[in-house]
Structure 1
Amino acid sequence: MPVRMTLPPTLAARIAASDRPQFGMWVCSANAVNAEIAAGSGLDVVLIDAEHSPNGLESILAQLHAVAAYPVSALVRPPFGDAVVIKQYLDLGVQNLLIPMVDSAAHAEEMVRAVRYPPHGIRGVGSALARASRWNRVEGYLTDAASSVSLFVQIESAAALDHVEEIAAVEGVDGILIGPADLAASMGFLGQQEHPEVVAGVLRSIAAAIAVGKPAGVNAFAPTAADRYVEAGASLVLVGADVALLARASEALADRFIGAPSA
């Protein structure tokens, strides 16, 4: 007799059920041990990145396995919003997707179709072969698959900012996440995430999501920026990354025990 499985709640459902913002960190090392360490940290979300990290399907799967035992949401970002890539991620068992560089409502609608089975979308049907349904051990998976997936899209460009209200309102988009670094670059302020126009764009995006009853997330490694966006109503704040923590902590060790190199 097979074990009948129940999938964990999505990130969108956890945000809706929580009385506080969710806080998370990136795992960019493509390493399952690091993902497991992050998952046991007490943070709410582990974001496994494949856009700016050396992650393939096998390493993502290993990280999903590593974090599955912990009470966190695994949010996974593919390198780009492609229906074939999304199908593979969903079949791996990714329940929470973050699509980078979504610049229009039409693009967001394409992403919604990519995560849904026909007749509401174009997701290929392979549930019997896939971890998504635990190889058909999740009862009614095909019928209820849409409720087991949450879709977040990123606002990362001046074009997206121009259309953020329409993007946030797309039916099937569960939330947005603002990327201030790319947004700053697109607005002509490369490396200036704290430029007043960039901050105003982030605040506008948060307000746009709140206006349609959806969560807004933001990348904010600086605590003062994180506090600002929480105060503005952000429901998800990403406050660090495994590789950045290792880089800064190892540099601090070198500074403490070796000091600055002599001239």
Structure 2
Amino acid sequence: MPAPVNRLKQRLAAGETTHGLWLGLADPYLAEIAATARFDWLLLDGEHAPNDIRSLSAQIGVLQNGPSDIVLRLPDDNPAKIKQALDIGAQTLLVPMIESAAQAQRALAACHYPPNGLRGVGSALARASRFAEIPDYLNTADAQICLIVQVESRAGLAALDDILQIEGLDAVFIGPSDLAADMGHLGNPGHPQVRQAVLEALERINRSGKAAGVLSTDPEFIQACTQAGARFVGVGIDVTVFAHALRQLAARYRNSAESTR
């Protein structure tokens, strides 16, 4: 029996456009609720959300048989963290702050077993092999790993063409928020210069044959990014959706009470 087929990897390779939600609430119960929305994918954020390897593992546990594919964003490109993420069952990783082809190549190597890479062997302990229930896991795992690298700086954009030459890299994600900060527009990813840079990068990625990715909560910009070739498209963040809904509900009744005074 081989490693589970990575549906998202297949869909991106086929050129399909997929839409997903960022999960930053760091709780398996809330992740399970999010799965009922049936996004193409759900991304567990290990970079900015208050997650650790145990909370990420718990969320994968409740999502693994659901309708949405699972993506895990790591805090950095540390090979030890990549190894742990794969062992707890993640098959699609988003690695942030990639600024060179060499850095992207190291991240790719960390995803694969020798002789193709440097991933440590411990699958018998891990959910990835269903705790040794998958007898052929070690020989089949590499083919089902999907690596998305996140370019979010001027240095990363300068290295983009070299990054796109890396064989085996599935997708490149452009991060508008950090790119805006690096371009001198902190807190303003909607600045025209930032938007132009993002759209141009997405077009370059799409032309290379790799999948292009982006995150935005602006419907007009999401449409523009899709037209530019984005196929891995984040369209919302659970934290902001939750906070906005609560504030809107509270304001409705607060305003109603004030109007009756």
**Same fold at TM > 0.5:** yes
Query: Which segment is superposed worse, 179-188 or 135-144?
Result: 135-144
Matches of 1:5 and 1:166 in 2, distance apart? 33
Counterpart of 1:39 in structure 2 is 35
Alpha-carbon distance in structure 1 between the residues aligned to 2:52 and 2:37: 24
Residue segments in structure 1 that go unaligned for 5+ positions in a row: none
Q: Distance in 1 between matches of 2:49 and 2:187?
A: 20
Identify the match of residue 247 of structure 2 among 246, 251, 254. 251
Alpha-carbon separation, structure 2, partners of 1:154 and 1:179: 7
- Give secondary structure in 1 for the equivalent of 2:141: helix
Q: Any stretches of 5+ residues in structure 2 without a counterpart?
A: none
Specify the code of the residue in structure 2 equivalent to 1:61: S
For residue 172 of structure 1, the aligned residue among 165, 168, 175 is 168
Query: Is contact 2:3–2:140 with CA below 8 Å preserved after alignment?
Result: no
AA of the residue aligned to 1:70: G
Match of 2:97 in 1: 101
Contact 1:165 1:205 (C-alpha < 8 Å) held by counterparts: no
Spell out the pairing of 1:1-263 with structure 2 (5 A cutoff).
Answer: 7-17=4-14, 20-259=16-255
User: What letter is aligned with 1:100?
Assistant: P
Q: Shift in Å at residue 11 of structure 1?
A: 2.0
Give the TM-score taking structure 2 as reference length.
0.94
Instruction: Say whether the 8 Å CA contact 1:35–1:67 is kept in structure 2.
Output: yes
The one-letter amino acid of 1:219's match is L
Question: How big is the shift at 1:44?
Answer: 0.4
Q: Tell me by how many angstroms 1:169 deviates.
A: 2.2
SS in 1 for 2:43: strand
Q: Distance in 2 between matches of 1:86 and 1:205?
A: 26
Tell me the number of residue pairs that the alignment of Structure 1 and Structure 2 aligns. 258
Distance 1:257 1:16, change over 3 A: same
SS of match in other structure, 2:22:
strand
Q: TM-score, normalised by structure 1?
A: 0.93
Provide the rounded CA distance (Å) in 1 between the counterparts of 2:124 and 2:201.
39
Q: Percent identity?
A: 41
Deviation at 1:152, TM superposition (A): 0.3
Matched-pair contact (CA < 8 Å) for 2:47–2:76: yes
Q: CA deviation at 1:16?
A: 2.9
Give the superposed CA RMSD: 1.7
CA contact (8 A) 1:34 1:242 kept: no
Say which is worse superposed, 81-90 or 4-13, in terms of deviation.
4-13
Deviation at 1:160, TM superposition (A): 0.4
Range with greater deviation from structure 2 (202-211 or 246-255): 202-211
For the 8 Å contact 1:11–1:75, the answer to whether it is kept is: no
Distance apart, 1:236 and its partner CA: 1.4
Deviation at 1:98, TM superposition (A): 0.2
Query: In the alignment, residue 96 of structure 2 is paired with which amino acid?
Result: P
Deviations 1:218-255 (A, max 9, x none): 01111111111011111011011111111101110121
Question: Does structure 2 retain, via aligned residues, the 8 Å contact 1:10–1:96?
Answer: no
Whether the 8 Å CA contact 2:3–2:129 is kept in 1: the answer is: no
Post-superposition, which runs of at least 4 consecutive aligned residues in structure 1 deviate over 6 A? none
Q: CA deviation at 1:15?
A: 2.2
